[in-house]
Amino acid sequence: MGKKRPREKAGALQDNPNAQPAKKSKKIPRTDLKPGSLIEKSLQNLSSAKVNVRIAAAEGLILATFAKESTNIHTVKDVLSKLLQGICSSQKTTRSGFFTALTEFLRQLYESDDQYGLALSISDLIDLVKKQSKLESQNEATDSQIGRVSAYAAIIRSSILFRSEASRQHGTKLLEDLFRLYTKSPSAREESAHLLVGCLKSAKGEARFLSEAVCQLDSNGLSKTPEGVTIWLTISSIEPKAKLPKGVWRHRDPLDSRERESISAILKEASVTGENAKCEATLSHSVNLAWDVVMLHMIQRLEQRKLSTETIIAFSKFWSDLVDVNMCAPSAPFHHKQASILISSKILSTCPNWVLPAIFSPNLMKFLGDQRNNTKQREHNPASIFLHAIEERARISPGDCVVLVSQLLQKDHTNFDQAMKFRVMERILVAADESSLLEISSVLEACLLRSEDRDSKSAATQRRWLADLIVVVVKSRTHIPSVSMDPGVNWLVCTLGILAKAAYLDEDKLDTIPNPNLSSETRSMFHTKLLTCLTHVVSAKSKENNAAYPYLMVNLFKPMLDVAGKTGIVASISDKEVRQLLQSSYSVLASITDAITSSQTDNSLTHQAFRLTMCFSIFQVYSGDVDAASVIEELISSWSPGENSPTYQSDVVSQLTEVTLSFVSRQSAVLRKVGEVVFTSFASNVGRDSLDALLAILQKSENLDGQNELFDADGGAEENDVGNVEIDLDVEVIGGPGNDSEDEASSDEEESEEGSATSSGSDGDEGPAEQESEGDQAELLKFDLLLADALKTGQDGEDDSDEDMDDEQMMALEPHLAKIFKERTKITSRKKENKDAKETILNFKNRVLDLLHIYVKQEHAKPLALDTISPLLRLIRTTTNRQTAEKGFACLKTYFDACKGKELPVPGEGEGIDLELLLAHIHEEASKDGSKMFSIACSRASLFVVRVLVHMDPANYARAVDVYAETQKKWFLDSKSKLQASFFTQWASWSVNSRKREQPWESKDGNTIASGDFNKV
């Protein structure tokens, strides 16, 4: 049978000419290893891509092979054969696993005197390696050569060459064959060099062997190759006694300064590795080992000296010669410049921090900037590699962020596109630790004041960019330093001080005179950024008293008010009354601070809000806002140290509410945020008078009459005033898409209702708009009638006389026409005033809704919050702006959602809140015409009040039924009623769902009523 099979295959091939002959498989020596055994599994796992799996497999293989009870010559021989086969694999990870295993295998094998019966000499082992790595085909040449080098490296690393004098003699034979391979196969040199450098380190102390290695290197003409330099430097560093050939390098040192030109040319050959290395956009190659070794040895040599300026200069010169000039000169090929990025990125990630400034060399940074601005190469951009390395360095070594920031802010590096540079700087600053931030603040201040751009416009752009970075620094920190920390070491105080001084101080009072000068627009920008940072710090959640930071910033300028004459403040406060007012404000601030320290918790919150308001008002005065002086005067007059009566507390909160409204009434995003922060600080102390003042604004008509009611004659200019706010940066746009609407939803039913509400929110908005349009048309018709009467023409198309007017008739008509067109101009002007007034009122209402949103979210459990329901419903129905209606709806939704569970308000008898009357008012409001949003809001508000009633006493459910029954009776009898039928179906659904409780409700008078869950809407 065994003889017939070849003939059958041959016959089949003859019968089927298209049949493919069987591939000739590589002969594998017979093995006694059993499938599924530990040794077999370990050999398979040596090819794993995971390092830990390969290491475990190597350990398991050695233990299983050399176990005392089972070790035999056949097993040892078969395992050695397998390891030599595996080390010649074409896969790098496979070679790595088999290299580790072979190294330990040889060490264990030769530690045994009889080698477990194998009797394999070093010479026989070298011959066996040659036999196993014999070339089968031309395609396998590189893999076989690397495999042979790997096997030789394993022999060296296992130290079996150095066990005796006889074994040392075989080292020469190994080295001869090793460097012969280097000469024949340049493509395998670099990987072979990696292996050889690693194993040579294990031969430390073997001076003769290492000397022989250098001699073989030189005799094969490899000394002045990248791999030759690598091996030369490695041997000279690990064994100073090694005999190095003369005449190759000056002083036998490749890093000698007189060999700089030679080493530069050699390293240029080793720019990148791999095939197609000169192809543009090929960034997947690794840096040649020669670069790593050369840079490492140079850094180590310099560090052996005393670190000084001369040492840093020496490395900078070295880097410039080898990388910046050699690889990145303007005339250098693109692939050399691209390789320099890989080299720089690699060194950047591992070098000591004193080396970092040298890496940011001029030619390299210019090339990086050009590449970042290259729109044709956005993907796989070379600059991205270097910038990513910077970010990683900052993340791993936060203490090096100071050097990175300093280098990126230099003039030579400004050709980066601003967006990319800002992103990198942002990530560096976020990674920086607090000690680094303290130093970085000094760097930012120097760049901010002494701009390298002489052009004032460019300098203003750079200063805005730096101010944005400062805001990023402040907003990115999760930990706010304690205000009790020494200001000299508090990075936040120093950073905020940069903005404050640049915003308010005269240039001659600054530590560094700005160049170019700070413009008024730039100072206004710094003022805005300062308030942005302070509002963030105050509103940040922290155990520290963050509200004290504005007080610390204000105190920076207190000494200047005590100086006679010029104060040093840019704003015009030389007026004696203003100066005295500010001095009084500082006295009040000191008194408030003492009161905060000594008062109880409730009063402390009011005092902190008072101090916060005073500080922000002072900042407004410093920025040139003259109206803020009157605010400070009112605050001073309302402060009474030691007074803690409820009436006084109420008056203080009312005063703070008025100031808050003055902040949010401005068309300024930052002042709006200031108002919200101030209001949040005293929202828990808001009483009925203050809340009514907010709610009253929502009921004002959205026209010129409503504006006149809100603002007196002196404040008429205030509604359109943007303060000293930066144009296009801080002015809010009215009527834009709302960005404050809530995203939360409590149930699928609510989500669908709210979606319908917002989509149809404009259903009820057409009436006022149509009325306004009709009014405009009436005015135009009146104008046409006057004009027609003046011209003696009719509106019904009556025929005119055939004769034209003469000059006298025209002259007589001219006064009448001038009067008519003057009236027309008044109509147009009045129309614009009405439009502006409407926008002002809508903006004010939106800002008040923001404050109410804060109040109901923070104080939802207080009965006083129930007073917001009816005004908000009326606002949703009557407003002419959809965004305002949506904000009102969102405010109610936030209130109702916050009261879920058991956190419901429970009005007391003396609080003047009649819930049944409130429920009746809601039903009356729901009967009026409005949008679908309004209908949903009324239904939810009604059910919420019922929840509160039943929560107080389950017997109140009957009273709620009576109110709903009366409303339904009116709805049924009135065919024109605008009340939606869903108002009653939702009430019925709520009642049904509320009965699903296991225990019946028991009223306060002891009567048991129907069970129900009254805690959910």
Judge whether 888 and 872 are in contact, CB under 8 Å: yes
> 233: closest CA among 246, 214, 258?
214
588-631: pLDDT as tens digits: 999 988 888 876 545 677 888 889 999 999 999 888 887 888 88
Residues 673, 528: Cα–Cα separation, whole Å? 11
pLDDT at residue 375, rounded to an integer = 55
Put simply, whether the predicted model's pTM sits higher than 0.95 gets the answer no
From residue 486, how far is each of 445, 538, 544 by CA, in Å? Answer: 20, 19, 15
The CA-based dihedral angle spanning residues 240, 242, 245, 248, taken in that order and rounded to the nearest 10 degrees: -30
State residue 751's pLDDT score.
42
The pLDDT of residue 149: 86
* Nearest partner of 857 among 888, 811, 899, 887, judged by Cα: 899
Task: State the pLDDT at residue 225.
Answer: 87
What Rg, from alpha-carbon coordinates, does the chain have?
A: 43
d(CA 735, CA 737): 7
Domain-wise residue ranges, the chain: 38-245, 255-275+282-419, 433-546, 576-710, 748-789+816-1009
Of the candidates 698, 624, 610, the residue with the CA atom closest to the CA atom of residue 658: 610
**Helix orientation angle between 334-350 and 289-304, rounded to the nearest 10 degrees:** 50
**Per-residue model confidence (pLDDT) at position 470:** 93
Using a pLDDT cut of 70, give the percent of the chain over it. Answer: 76
Distance CA 884, CA 881 (A): 5
Give yes or no for a contact between 544 and 482, defined as CB atoms under 8 angstroms apart: yes
CA contacts within 13 A on the Cβ side of 451: 21
* Whether residue 385 has pLDDT greater than 70: yes
Residue pointed to by tokens 């009642």: 991
pLDDT at 295: 94
> Quick one: pLDDT at residue 602?
56
For residues 669 and 734, the answer to whether their CB atoms sit within 8 Å is no
Query: Distance (Å, rounded) from C-alpha 359 to C-alpha 390?
Result: 11
Q: How far is CA 568 from CA 571, 576, 895, in A?
A: 9, 15, 48
Q: Tell which wins on pLDDT, 917 or 740.
A: 917
> What is the residue whose two structure tokens read 């049978």?
1
Kindly state the tokens that stand for 73: 């010559």
d(CA 781, CA 104): 104
Q: Taking CA 391 as the corner, what is the angle to CA 390 and CA 394, rounded to the nearest 5 degrees? A: 90
Greatest mean pLDDT among 398-407, 417-426, 550-559, 569-578 = 398-407
- pLDDT, tens digit, for every residue of 131-186? 887 755 555 667 778 888 888 889 888 888 888 777 788 888 888 888 887 777 76
The DSSP element (H or E) to which 886 belongs, if any, is: helix 882-898
**What is the per-residue pLDDT for 395?**
93
pLDDT of residue 374: 65
The answer, yes or no, to whether residue 793 has pLDDT greater than 70, is: no
- Burial, 446: exposed, middle or buried (Cβ in 10 Å; 0-12, 13-18, 19+)? middle
**Euclidean distance between CA atoms 75 and 33, whole angstroms:** 7
Contact 563, 574 (CB under 8 A): no
- Classify 1002 as helix, strand or coil: strand
The answer for residues whose C-beta is within 8 angstroms of residue 980's C-beta and 6 or more apart is 926, 932, 935, 939
State the Cα–Cα distance between residues 465 and 486, nearest whole angstrom.
29
Which of the two residues, 136 and 878, has the higher pLDDT score? 878
pLDDT tens string 292-306: 999 999 999 998 887
Question: For residue 1009, what are the β-bridge partners?
Answer: 1001
In angstroms, the CA 316 to CA 358 distance is: 5
pLDDT of residue 135: 57
- Given a contact cutoff of 8 angstroms between Cβ atoms, the answer to whether 373 and 409 are in contact is no
Phi, psi of 430 (to 5 degrees): -65, -35
- Write out the two tokens for 513: 């005179």
Residue 712 is predicted with a pLDDT of 58
At 565 the pLDDT is 52
Beta strand ranges found along 361-511 (DSSP E): none
For residue 569, the cross-strand partners are 505
Q: Which residue has the higher pLDDT, 383 or 683?
A: 683
pLDDT at 35: 59
Cβ–Cβ < 8 Å for 873, 941: yes
Range among 118-127, 750-759, 762-771, 796-805 with highest mean pLDDT value: 118-127
Average pLDDT over residues 299-319: 90
Phi, psi of 270 (to 5 degrees): -100, 35
| The predicted structure's pLDDT at residue 822 | 65
Condensed to tens digits (0 to 9), the pLDDT of residues 444-475 reads 998 888 876 667 888 888 899 999 999 999 99
Q: What is the pLDDT of residue 960?
A: 93
Q: What is the mean pLDDT of the chain?
A: 79
Q: By three-state DSSP, how is residue 38 classified?
A: helix
Task: Give per-residue pLDDT as tens, 918-933.
Answer: 999 999 999 998 899 9
Q: What is the mean pLDDT of residues 555-567?
A: 70
Q: If 0-12 CB within 10 Å is exposed, 13-18 middle and 19+ buried, where does residue 885 land?
A: buried
- Give the containing element (helix H, strand E) for 325: helix 325-328
Q: What is the C-alpha end-to-end distance of the chain, expressed in Å?
A: 88
DSSP string, 280-293: TT---PPPPHHHHH
Kindly report the number of other CB atoms within 10 A of residue 214's CB atom.
23
Mean pLDDT of 540-566: 76
Continuous segment of H or E residues that includes residue 1008: strand 1008-1009
Q: Is the pLDDT of residue 798 over 60?
A: no
State mean pLDDT over 531-545. 83
Q: Please compute the mean of the pLDDT values over residues 498-511 and round it to a whole number.
A: 86
Strand, helix or coil for residue 600: coil
Q: In this model, does residue 852 exceed pLDDT 90?
A: yes
Number of other residues whose CB lies within 10 A of the CB of residue 997: 13
Phi-psi region of 737 (alpha: psi -120 to 50; beta: other; left: phi over 0): beta
Q: Rounded to an integer, what distance in angstroms lies between the CA atom of residue 704 and that of residue 706?
A: 5
What is the rounded distance in angstroms from the CA atom of residue 997 to the CA atom of residue 223? Answer: 90
